[in-house]
Structure 1
Amino acid sequence: MPIEIDITDDRWLGLGAGGAGGIEQLVARGCDATLRHLGYAPEGLEISVLACDDARIRDLNTRFRGKDAPTNVLSWPTWDLSAETAGDAPEPPELGSAEMPEELGDMALAYETCAREAEEQGKSPKDHVTHLVVHSTLHLLGYDHETDADAELMEGLERLILAQLGIDDPYAADHHA
């Protein structure tokens, strides 16, 4: 799966295996697992990632969501695939081939918020970022958590995908401070 990553905060370089490859490996692992779990070939899709700081994501959150605060991750899907009925799976995207990948969308991750949340929740930063990548990839595929039914569907998928990666349930009570 082609991944274009723009690292604008050097602290991301220390995550994962070290160097720019660390964050890229976490993104690739989370995206790949999510797509395969849902029956998509990752080779036919590409994603762009901005690995930034809280100031940058706050600006993006204000501009695109009208929320003047930093957040952990933002997602911009290429297609609006959202389901018409709460709790239903979204529409599947029309995908290209490995020779001509389709742009799945863009995501942005904020270093300070991700690091703070991981510490507060007693998780490793790598596991927390992987969870956020899985979460964001599901958003790119039309999943959301606007209603209880939608949240139940999305969180259930996150739990299954993360379990396949050997990552504990991020919504378990013992993981929150």
Structure 2
Amino acid sequence: MNGTALVDVIIEAPEWEAVNLDVIAGRACSAVLAELGLDSERFEIAILACDDTRIAELNTDFRGKPHPTNVLSWPAEEIELPTGQSPELPHPDPDGPPVELGDIAIAYETCAREAENQGKPFSDHVSHLLVHATLHLLGFDHINDPDAAHMEAIETRILATMGIPDPY
């Protein structure tokens, strides 16, 4: 149960070429699954490493917000979330194929700008955003205060296991 999540990174923006995103993503996504007691090798996640222009298009198309954002996520399945609690987690068949959790898009310019403005190493900020997005794929959310507090506590705990300070 301590393998690496099956993460497929598609690099669309050339700025991401200089970043070891495969390693960062594998580590971040696996840390989420491990924290939740899930076998990392039984799940797949697709990540689009794009630029602000592309993520603004996606943000417009899917959220009606015509501007760039740092990260977006699309769970493979809709999951009901009891307020302030964890969603029911998936349990893949150990003999079946890995479960597709969903897709993540992450924008280079926004991530770089935020990391610089917050005085954080770029890789730590990207790791945090990928932890955050992976939790969304599993049904966690931050729509209301109890859900936000629950999700942030889990993120902070996961990041600590990765040696990354509390981003909040």
Establish whether TM, by shorter chain, passes 0.5. yes
Pairwise CA distance, 1:82:
3.1
The answer for the alignment partner of 1:5 in structure 2 is 9
Shift of 1:107: 0.1
Q: Partners in 2 of 1:77 and 1:59 — Cα distance?
A: 19
3-state SS, counterpart of residue 3 of structure 1: strand
Query: How is 1:85-164 mapped onto 2 (pairs within 5 angstroms)?
Result: 85-97=82-94, 100-164=97-161
Match of 1:61, SS? Answer: helix
CA offset at residue 99 of structure 1? 5.5
Aligned residue type for 1:25: V
Q: Does 1:40 pair with 2:44?
A: no
In the alignment, the residues of structure 1 paired with residue 98 and residue 45 of structure 2 have an alpha-carbon distance, to the nearest angstrom, of: 10
Q: Which amino acid aligns with 1:32?
A: S
Residue 46 of structure 1, CA deviation = 0.5
Correspondence for 1:23 among 3, 21, 24: 21
Choose which of 64, 71, 74 in structure 1 pairs with 2:72: 74
Question: Aligned partners of 1:149 and 1:29: how far apart in 2?
Answer: 27
TM (norm. structure 2) is 0.94
Deviates more, 1:90-99 or 1:44-53: 90-99
* Residue aligned with 1:89, SS: coil
Partner Cα distance (1:129, 1:98) in 2: 33
Paired residues of 1:43 and 1:98 also in contact (CA < 8 A)? no
The one-letter amino acid paired with 2:18 is G
Give the C-alpha shift of residue 98 in structure 1: 6.9
Q: CA RMSD in A?
A: 1.1
* Mapped contact 1:79–1:93 kept (Cα < 8 A): no
Q: How many residues align?
A: 164
Structure 2: how far apart are the matches of 1:98 and 1:113? 40
Amino acid in the other structure paired with 1:120: N
TM-score of the pair, normalised by structure 1: 0.90
Provide structure 1 residue ranges, at least 5 long, that are not aligned to the other structure: 16-21, 172-177
How far off is 1:81 after superposition?
Answer: 1.8
Secondary structure of 2:100 counterpart: strand
- 1:19 matched to which residue of 2? none
Q: Distance in 2 between matches of 1:8 and 1:98?
A: 34
Distance across 1 between alignment mates of 2:164 and 2:148: 19
Where structure 2 has 5 or more consecutive residues not aligned to the other structure, the ranges are none
Distance 1:153 1:2 in 2: 26
Superposed displacement of residue 10, structure 1: 1.1
Change (3 A) 1:98 1:136: farther
